[in-house]
Structure 1
Amino acid sequence: MSTTERGTPAQSVTADREIVISRIIDAPRELVFEAFTDVRHLSRWWGPEGFTTTTRAFEFRVGGEWDFVLHGPDGTDYQEWITWTEIAPPERIAMLHGETRDDPNAFESVLTFEPDGAATRIEMHTVFPTKEQRDEAVEKYHAIESGRQTLGNLAAYVTGVLLKEVED
Structure 2
Amino acid sequence: MAKNHESGNIITNVGEKDFTLERVFDAPRDLVFKAFTDPEHVSQWWAPAGFTMPVCTIDLQPGGIWHYCFESPEGERHWSRSVYKEIIEPEKIVYTSTLSDEKANPVESPLPEHLATVTFVENNGKTKLTVNIQLPSVLDLKATMDMGMMEGLKQTINNLEEHLKVVR
User: Which bracket does the TM-score occupy, shorter chain normalised?
Assistant: 0.7 to 0.9
Match of 1:51 in 2: 51
User: Which of 119, 127, 132 is the matching residue for 1:112?
Assistant: 119
For residues 92-103 of structure 1, what are the structure 2 equivalents within 5 Å?
Answer: 92-100=92-100, 101-102=105-106
Q: Which has a greater percent of strand?
A: 2
Query: For the Cα contact (< 8 Å) 1:55–1:66, is it kept in 2?
Result: no
SS in 2 for 1:115: strand
Gap regions ≥5 residues in structure 2: 1-13
Q: How many residues align?
A: 148
Q: Which runs of 4+ in 1 moved over 6 A?
A: none
Write the distance in 2 (CA, Å) between the matches of 1:56 and 1:21: 23
Write the distance in 2 (CA, Å) between the matches of 1:55 and 1:114: 29
User: Which of 147, 155, 159 is the matching residue for 2:161?
Assistant: 155
Match of 2:143 in 1: 136
**Judging changes above 3 Å, is the alpha-carbon distance between structure 1 residues 130 and 76 closer, same or farther for their aligned structure 2 residues?**
farther
1:116 Cα shift?
2.7
Write the distance in 2 (CA, Å) between the matches of 1:133 and 1:82: 18
1:110 Cα shift?
0.3
Residues 88-125 of structure 1, C-alpha deviations (whole Å, 9 max, x = no match) = 01110111110135457210000000113221000000
The CA RMSD measured in Å over matched residues stands at: 1.8
Query: For the Cα contact (< 8 Å) 2:86–2:93, is it kept in 1?
Result: yes
Match of 2:130 in 1: 123
Amino acid of the structure 1 residue aligned with 2:130: E
Query: For the Cα contact (< 8 Å) 2:39–2:57, is it kept in 1?
Result: no
Write the distance in 1 (CA, Å) between the matches of 2:123 and 2:107: 36
Q: Which has a greater percent of helix?
A: 1
SS in 2 for 1:125: strand
Gap regions ≥5 residues in structure 1: 1-13, 164-168
Amino acid of the structure 1 residue aligned with 2:164: V
1:51 Cα shift?
1.1
Write the distance in 1 (CA, Å) between the matches of 2:74 and 2:124: 40
SS in 2 for 1:61: coil
1:83 Cα shift?
1.0
Match of 1:23 in 2: 23
SS in 2 for 1:90: coil
**Judging changes above 3 Å, is the alpha-carbon distance between structure 1 residues 81 and 110 closer, same or farther for their aligned structure 2 residues?**
same
Q: Which has the higher contact order (CA 8 A, sep 6+)?
A: 1
**Larger Cα-atom Rg:** 1
